[in-house]
Structure 1
Amino acid sequence: NTLCLRCHGTGEAVNGVKAPVIDMAAHTPCPQSSMGTRCVECHMPESLYMARDPRRDHSFNSPDPLLSVELGIPNACTMCHREKSNEWAAEAVKEYYGVNPKMAQYRERTRAVQHAYEGKEDVLPLLMECFKREEVGAWRATLLDLMDAWAHEPSVQEVAAAAVKDPDPLTRAAAAKVMGRAGNPVVGKLLNDPFRVVRLQAEWALRDSLPPDSPGMRELTAAALHQADQPSGAMKLAQIAISRKDAKTAELWFSKALKWDATSSVVHRDYAVFLASQGRSREAVDQMQKAVRLAPKDANLWYLLGLGQIENNDEPGALESFNEALKIEPAFIRALFNRALLNEKVGRLEQALQDLENCSSLDKGNADIPFTLAVMLYRNGRYREAAAAAAEALRRDSGHVRARQILESASRHGR
């Protein structure tokens, strides 16, 4: 407590920010002689790692049992009062600090982070709103990094491009990562950033276009070589070799990564994608099958396996893989879309149409989904339904030329 109160007892400024003055007698509802008056017990609670390693939390959050009730996250109150419930603790906090305590201002941020980790599709607006009003650079970086799952959304790219001028280097590094995912050329502005962590992210994003002898590629390669005795470094060197169209060197580094970490689904996945790019589709499927065995709850791995099985004319296997992906993630649009195409191919038209209807409901702004539905219906002689689907595609994108062609042709046939 003496250490904490050097600033919080005096209001001393650290890095230009004055510490709020804490009156320990009023700061906590816990009795003054109890463990609850020790700053570390509430703001740095201890957890056991690896069954025997006690460590204190360094996020310095205020315990908020209300979020434990809502989201299932732990809180320091019931870590100490083990016989009490989260509901009891939430009510105690409300009674002592009021209905709008200090920790309430961070609740939306916590919800955004938790829902993003859970993969909830509707969390993006909340992430963006929290990012907009966040004052702490490390948190802005975290929120922007979590937007990576929606990197191809124009609104996310707009946020990332604006973050090029963010005063915090971690936030700029996150911006480089997000822009790189979508091939946004604005990421090039960060190649000369004064912070290496930012430059490395920008260089990684642009590795396919950087000349081999450029300062950026040399720096990126040197950083990867520094980690070359680890699987992560080997994987980076494999990807750099791919960007240079050096398949032999890429395979060498993939082989090392597999030898050093055969239990990593990511290594098997990336090696499979490489093999597929080299036309070695059977080997690619073999690697992807190893990946799904290592991470059977990863929907994207099942989806990628399905694509590989289609390449090898294994339609039953591909359907099974897409089904597994959709069991794990029912709103996985790409898996639904590809299963629809495959279902039509194997003669299961109604299932195919239902999959496309579901895709269209999940992504109400994508004109290509109802267009594909229109083509499928037209191909099967259902012209009135094809015209309706084409009209929906045009409602979403009035300039969709092929949808207009389908609409006109289907209308003539449907008379």
Structure 2
Amino acid sequence: MYQNKQKFSKFVLQFCLLLSVCVLVLSCGEEKKETYKKVATEKKKSVFASTDSIPDAHFLGDKTCKECHQNQFEKWQGSHHDKSMDVATKQTVLADFNGEVFKSQGVTNRFFQKNGNFYANTEGPDGKNHDYKIVYVFGVTPLQQYIVQFPNGHYQCLRTAWDSVKNKWFDLYPDFKVVHSEWLHWSRGGLNWNNMCADCHSTNVRKNYTQEDHSYDTKFALINVSCEACHGPGKQHVEDVKTQGGSYRNTGTMQMTLDTKPKELVDQCARCHMRREMLTDRFNFEGTMLDHYYPQLITEPTYYADGQILDEDYVYGSFVQSKMYHENVTCTNCHDAHTLERKFEGNKLCAQCHLPEKYDTEEHSFHKLGTEGALCINCHMPGRFYMGNDFRRDHSFRIPRPDLSVKYNTPNACVGCHKDKTDQWAADEIVKRKGAPKENHFSDLLVPGLSKTPEAYKPLLQLAKDASYPEIARASAIVELPNYRNQAIVRKQLLEFLNDPSPLVRASSTDALNDISDINNVSYLLPLLNDEKRAVRIKAFSALAILDEQQVPQNYKSVYNKVKKEYFIYLDGISDFTGGRINRANYTLKKGDLLGAIKHYESALAIDNLNNMARTNLANLYYQNKQYKKAEKAFKTIIEQEPEYGATYYSYGLLLAELQRTKDAIQQLELATKYMPDNERVYYNLSLLYSGIKDAKNAEKSILRGLKKLPKNENLLYLLAYHYANNGEKQKAKNIALQLVQLFPNNAQYFTFLQQLN
């Protein structure tokens, strides 16, 4: 969703890292009278799973589970799920609060006790230090975080955490300076529990956000990740046990049982173990993962271009890339469901499936047995540190491919350990010992497809059409295709993908068509309102925003209204995020309400004043609405905040050009070439501006500068040929036109142009 080069890119990199830095709010007051529809097997298959709440009274608590499930309870007790959150007491607080002082990024933090309570003195949202009472603890190892209560139901997590292994205070992001007015400051949105963490760290959470006053009334049934957080509310289960006696059978209310199929179990665990967007305002166990959440696809900066972890992905997005997932290996094959620990240590874990006499050998690993290098996980699951001291492994279980690192500048496990060696050395060693790699990897299609070259859509289409590749890789290729919307084959294929068996592919195709926004797509999108997955329905409704509601065919009116309700529940549920308010603005704009869109973009900036992607769009809307002063002020604000963000100079330059301030526009586009030198449109428009003031010399120079960066760029070559022809340099024009014919033989326009020159 977001892209930038300085603080805004850092915002992206940190965004979901913060999901596990979050806090948990506590509000167990009087429960509203909400109905709960029993989750039966038939209901799980229903097209329209409800968004009804489950009353807290249906969750009976872990002590009730213990009565029959003593062994499972004892395993769970003390686990990361059990310790996901707790009230701050002398028993639960692990850190030292005895007057310790910790300094980082110019902020002095002091931790102390007063009247039996724990306090931190640190920088607040006004930039001044204040005393803050610790109300909850978050997590247990390798770090523990501390939660502070703020007004309007907000709960915030301190940026300074306790290293429970080394027993010391540390800064979660020691190299990342955050100003108190920024969204990422601990007292603001980036470390807010209600929207960043609650859904996964407690049981039966309802966020209950009110946009009008930016307040929360968040509630939950149980403070931690209890038995019922995974298995579902226990009330019906207990009643069934009592009535059925010794002949108990699951009536469909229990989740994650021994009968749960492998991929379904991954789907259920994924709810909390993935980067995702929430599609409802609460989770109620109805439907499947794609009825409540939509996963982050393989995009930078969450992943490297080949799918390896870069930012924290929380496992799911990696695991579904793996062969293991596609061979029905599931979470509990490796992890104990209740302790969450690995079932075995060392290579014994992998030897459950992979014959040790074949794989647990020096011939296979190239390393002496018993050493770190001979451990399967160190070659096939390299990891990264997140949140300062938390080491997480990549669950894509990939074969080390240093040859791909040579081609694409992506990591590999070999050089990850042998830091004094090069990717080429590692690639040569693999060939010497194992021979040339024989297996294809989707990155051989995805990475070239991300290059934005004129032909890059071809590998993307090849990947997207091949069902032998992981669904998440296919979907990730599809969302890049709108960059090539001028290709008829791309548009045709996107429409065909709407009928793909994979709901993730259908959803990503709908997203892509939403970006293209063509009224001719309406008849293809309408049937998706009946899709079995809420993710697809919501995205289809968003793409259909270009359709006037009065024009909805009669046979679709009923389902259209049902999905409309789902869509606005989705928008309301994410309205405490800048991105949620931007989504509402874009929907409003498609409906033709320019003033409404401006209002929603202004609302987005009200909760994140440094979100300059939002400000860029707002500036353009101001311009459309002839609010030229506001538009110019917005662009100047972006430049002041992020002086190296080239896209702003480009957009600002175009605005000035429209206002006939050509020399000012040229100045901005010249700056754009400095900060975004690989963007063809900058050179293209800059050349046109120079031509407009009869400066042929600089017009030519602008194009040549662009071609130096992008030697075979079709648009720049054509503009150069036209420039030469228009300025009497016929032979130069012919040479360029001939080059165009040779590079793009299927474009008859270039052949005609060459003939005209001759």
Pair 1:131-2:464 in alignment:
yes
- CA–CA distance in structure 1, aligned partners of residues 595 and 366 of structure 2: 66
Letter in 2 for 1:271: L
Pair 1:207-2:545 in alignment:
yes
Q: In the TM superposition, what whole-angstrom CA distance separates every residue of 1:134-160 from its partner, at most 9, and x where no partner exists? A: 522111111222333223322322332
Counterpart in the other structure of 2:505: 171
Counterpart in the other structure of 1:350: 697
Letter in 2 for 1:71: Y
SS of the residue corresponding to residue 58 of structure 1 reads coil
Which one of 418, 425, 433 corresponds to residue 88 of structure 1? 425
Task: Trace 1:276-287 onto structure 2 (pairs within 5 A).
Answer: 276-287=623-634
- CA–CA distance in structure 1, aligned partners of residues 438 and 378 of structure 2: 19
Going from structure 1 to structure 2, the CA distance change for 1:122 and 1:397 (only over 3 Å counts) comes to closer
- CA–CA distance in structure 1, aligned partners of residues 404 and 683 of structure 2: 34
- CA–CA distance in structure 2, aligned partners of residues 332 and 83 of structure 1: 36
Task: Indicate the structure (1 or 2) with the bigger Cα radius of gyration.
Answer: 2
Q: In the TM superposition, what whole-angstrom CA distance separates every residue of 1:368-405 from its partner, at most 9, and x where no partner exists? A: 9589759x93xx7x59799979x99999556999x9xx
- CA–CA distance in structure 1, aligned partners of residues 404 and 453 of structure 2: 17
Letter in 2 for 1:238: A
SS of the residue corresponding to residue 207 of structure 1 reads helix
CA contact (8 A) 2:510 2:536 kept: yes
- CA–CA distance in structure 2, aligned partners of residues 83 and 337 of structure 1: 44
- CA–CA distance in structure 2, aligned partners of residues 75 and 386 of structure 1: 47
Going from structure 1 to structure 2, the CA distance change for 1:370 and 1:81 (only over 3 Å counts) comes to closer
- CA–CA distance in structure 1, aligned partners of residues 646 and 481 of structure 2: 19
Letter in 2 for 1:196: R
Pair 1:154-2:491 in alignment:
no
SS of the residue corresponding to residue 73 of structure 1 reads coil
| Displacement after TM superposition at 1:227 (Å) | 0.7
SS of the residue corresponding to residue 284 of structure 1 reads helix
Letter in 1 for 2:406: V
SS of the residue corresponding to residue 313 of structure 1 reads coil
Letter in 1 for 2:476: T
CA contact (8 A) 1:306 1:322 kept: yes
Letter in 2 for 1:74: P
| Displacement after TM superposition at 1:319 (Å) | 0.9
Q: In the TM superposition, what whole-angstrom CA distance separates every residue of 1:67-122 from its partner, at most 9, and x where no partner exists? A: 333333221122223344433322322222212354xx21xx32443445554555
Which one of 442, 446, 467 corresponds to residue 113 of structure 1? 446
| Displacement after TM superposition at 1:348 (Å) | 0.8
Task: Trace 1:7-406 onto structure 2 (pairs within 5 A).
Answer: 7-9=353-355, 23-25=359-361, 26-102=363-439, 105-106=440-441, 109-117=442-450, 119-133=452-466, 134-184=468-518, 185-186=520-521, 187-188=524-525, 189-211=527-549, 214-215=560-561, 216-296=563-643, 298-330=645-677, 332-352=679-699, 362=712, 364=714, 373=723, 377=726, 382=728, 396-397=747-748
| Displacement after TM superposition at 1:242 (Å) | 2.3
Determine what percentage of the aligned residue pairs are the same residue. 22
- CA–CA distance in structure 2, aligned partners of residues 362 and 196 of structure 1: 43
- CA–CA distance in structure 2, aligned partners of residues 264 and 326 of structure 1: 23
Question: Which range moves more in the overlay, 293-302 or 358-367?
Answer: 358-367
- CA–CA distance in structure 2, aligned partners of residues 142 and 261 of structure 1: 28
Question: For structure 2, which runs of at least 5 residues remain unmatched after alignment?
Answer: 1-346, 551-556
Question: Which range moves more in the overlay, 354-363 or 202-211?
Answer: 354-363
Going from structure 1 to structure 2, the CA distance change for 1:60 and 1:350 (only over 3 Å counts) comes to same
CA contact (8 A) 1:211 1:217 kept: no
CA contact (8 A) 2:485 2:516 kept: yes
Q: In the TM superposition, what whole-angstrom CA distance separates every residue of 1:27-66 from its partner, at most 9, and x where no partner exists? A: 4222221223333222221211243332111222221122
| Displacement after TM superposition at 1:237 (Å) | 1.6
- CA–CA distance in structure 2, aligned partners of residues 65 and 398 of structure 1: 43
SS of the residue corresponding to residue 82 of structure 1 reads coil
SS of the residue corresponding to residue 258 of structure 1 reads helix
| Displacement after TM superposition at 1:132 (Å) | 3.9
- CA–CA distance in structure 2, aligned partners of residues 365 and 84 of structure 1: 41
Pair 1:6-2:342 in alignment:
no
Letter in 1 for 2:404: L
Higher relative CO (CA 8 A, sep ≥ 6), structure 1 or 2? 2
| Displacement after TM superposition at 1:165 (Å) | 2.1
CA contact (8 A) 2:449 2:458 kept: no
Going from structure 1 to structure 2, the CA distance change for 1:365 and 1:304 (only over 3 Å counts) comes to closer
SS of the residue corresponding to residue 384 of structure 2 reads strand
CA contact (8 A) 1:203 1:217 kept: yes
- CA–CA distance in structure 1, aligned partners of residues 535 and 663 of structure 2: 46
Going from structure 1 to structure 2, the CA distance change for 1:205 and 1:320 (only over 3 Å counts) comes to farther
- CA–CA distance in structure 1, aligned partners of residues 494 and 514 of structure 2: 10
Going from structure 1 to structure 2, the CA distance change for 1:366 and 1:175 (only over 3 Å counts) comes to farther
SS of the residue corresponding to residue 486 of structure 2 reads coil
CA contact (8 A) 1:43 1:63 kept: yes
CA contact (8 A) 2:446 2:459 kept: no
Letter in 2 for 1:265: N
> Greater helix percent: which structure?
1
Going from structure 1 to structure 2, the CA distance change for 1:92 and 1:152 (only over 3 Å counts) comes to same
- CA–CA distance in structure 1, aligned partners of residues 477 and 515 of structure 2: 16
SS of the residue corresponding to residue 152 of structure 1 reads coil
SS of the residue corresponding to residue 683 of structure 2 reads helix
Going from structure 1 to structure 2, the CA distance change for 1:241 and 1:363 (only over 3 Å counts) comes to same
> Greater strand percent: which structure?
2
Letter in 2 for 1:6: Q
| Displacement after TM superposition at 1:226 (Å) | 0.9
Going from structure 1 to structure 2, the CA distance change for 1:78 and 1:387 (only over 3 Å counts) comes to closer
- CA–CA distance in structure 2, aligned partners of residues 171 and 22 of structure 1: 37
SS of the residue corresponding to residue 411 of structure 2 reads coil
Going from structure 1 to structure 2, the CA distance change for 1:301 and 1:219 (only over 3 Å counts) comes to farther
- CA–CA distance in structure 1, aligned partners of residues 729 and 417 of structure 2: 68
CA contact (8 A) 1:151 1:179 kept: no
Aligned residues: 387
- CA–CA distance in structure 2, aligned partners of residues 247 and 275 of structure 1: 9
Going from structure 1 to structure 2, the CA distance change for 1:302 and 1:173 (only over 3 Å counts) comes to farther
Letter in 1 for 2:671: E
Letter in 1 for 2:506: R
SS of the residue corresponding to residue 575 of structure 2 reads coil
- CA–CA distance in structure 1, aligned partners of residues 634 and 449 of structure 2: 29
CA contact (8 A) 2:615 2:638 kept: yes
- CA–CA distance in structure 2, aligned partners of residues 85 and 385 of structure 1: 48
Q: In the TM superposition, what whole-angstrom CA distance separates every residue of 1:277-298 from its partner, at most 9, and x where no partner exists? A: 2111221122133334555555
Counterpart in the other structure of 1:14: none
| Displacement after TM superposition at 1:333 (Å) | 3.5
Letter in 2 for 1:199: R
